[in-house]
């Protein structure tokens, strides 16, 4: 049972002007598509071929680097498309809002810390909001690594992720990662982040 590239729940242009349609299309079809195909090829015929992606990532230190890179890429982009929405933005409510206030002081402070994680990740990688036991943590990871991997510095369940690879923003923002990070706050799907928080 091979992994499949998921369909997006919104059009490529739906996140405009924050994320442009051409970036979305290339990012989904070419980048995410390649991670998916390369993951399937890397697993073919091996003992992990029919495993859940979460189990693969939890054992990534035992697997070839192609599985680490492409398995991470497959999982991370699945999450990324879902934590964005054309009706996104604003702030979370309820238990997630309470937890953000508890662990980071305020939503404003959380926004500052998460944005800082995204800005200070050198080169390609991701910024994460992670549920780790009963705690929320902010972290970042290089390349396509993520907090589900057994090699991760900060482990836990990623509930929000921001792709800071240049392929995620260069067409529209060129070198201005800060503008892309600012724009991301307008498309965050807090309902989906909350669903993951409660899972
Ligand atoms: Mn990407």
Quote the ligand 1 centre to 24 CA distance (angstroms).
10
Cα(102) to centroid(ligand 1), Å: 31
pLDDT interval class at 1 (50, 70, 90): low
Ligand 1 center to 27 CA (angstroms): 6
Closest Cα to residue 72, out of 83, 61, 82?
Answer: 61
What's the Cα-to-Cα distance from 102 to each of 97, 99, 107, 120, 197, rounded to whole Å? 9, 5, 10, 24, 14
Give the pLDDT score at 32. Answer: 98
**Ligand 1 midpoint to CA 56 (Å):** 20
- Centroid of ligand 1 to alpha carbon of 54 (angstroms): 19
CA of 51 to the centre of ligand 1 (A): 23
* Among 60, 61, 198, 193, CA closest to 128: 193
The Å distance, Cα 94 to ligand 1 centre, comes to 30
Between the CA of 89 and the centroid of ligand 1 the distance, in Å, is: 20
pTM, two decimals, is: 0.97
Q: What percent of the chain has pLDDT over 90?
A: 98
**Distances, alpha carbon 33 to alpha carbons 3, 39, 93, 144, 183, in Å:** 10, 10, 34, 14, 24
The arithmetic mean of pLDDT across residues 162-167, rounded, is 98
Q: Average of pLDDT values for 36-48?
A: 97
Tell me how far the alpha carbon of residue 83 lies from the centroid of ligand 1, in angstroms.
Answer: 14
Rounded distance from Cα 144 to ligand 1 centre (Å): 8
Q: How far apart are the CA of 38 and the centre of ligand 1, in A?
A: 14
Determine the distance separating the centroid of ligand 1 and the alpha carbon of 35, expressed in angstroms: 10
17 upstream amide cis, omega within 30 of 0 = yes
pLDDT exceeds cutoff 80 at 155: yes
């Amino acid at each position: 049972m091979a992994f499949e590239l998921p369909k997006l729940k919104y059009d490529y242009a739906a996140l405009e002007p924050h994320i442009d349609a051409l970036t979305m299309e290339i990012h989904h079809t070419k980048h995410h598509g390649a991670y998916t195909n390369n993951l399937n090829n890397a697993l073919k015929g091996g003992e992990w071929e029919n495993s859940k992606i979460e189990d693969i990532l939890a054992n990534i230190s035992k697997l070839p680097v192609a599985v680490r890179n492409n398995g991470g890429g497959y999982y991370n982009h699945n999450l990324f498309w879902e934590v964005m929405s054309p009706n996104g933005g604003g702030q979370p409510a309820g238990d997630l809002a309470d937890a953000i206030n508890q662990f980071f002081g305020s939503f404003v402070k959380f926004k500052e810390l998460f944005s800082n994680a995204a800005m200070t990740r050198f080169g390609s990688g991701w910024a994460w909001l992670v549920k780790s036991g009963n705690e929320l943590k902010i972290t970042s990871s290089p390349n396509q690594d993520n907090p589900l991997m057994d090699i991760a510095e900060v482990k836990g369940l990623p509930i929000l992720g921001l792709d800071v690879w240049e392929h995620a923003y260069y067409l529209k923002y060129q070198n201005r990662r800060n503008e892309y990070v600012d724009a991301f706050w307008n498309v965050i799907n807090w309902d989906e982040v909350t669903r993951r928080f409660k899972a």
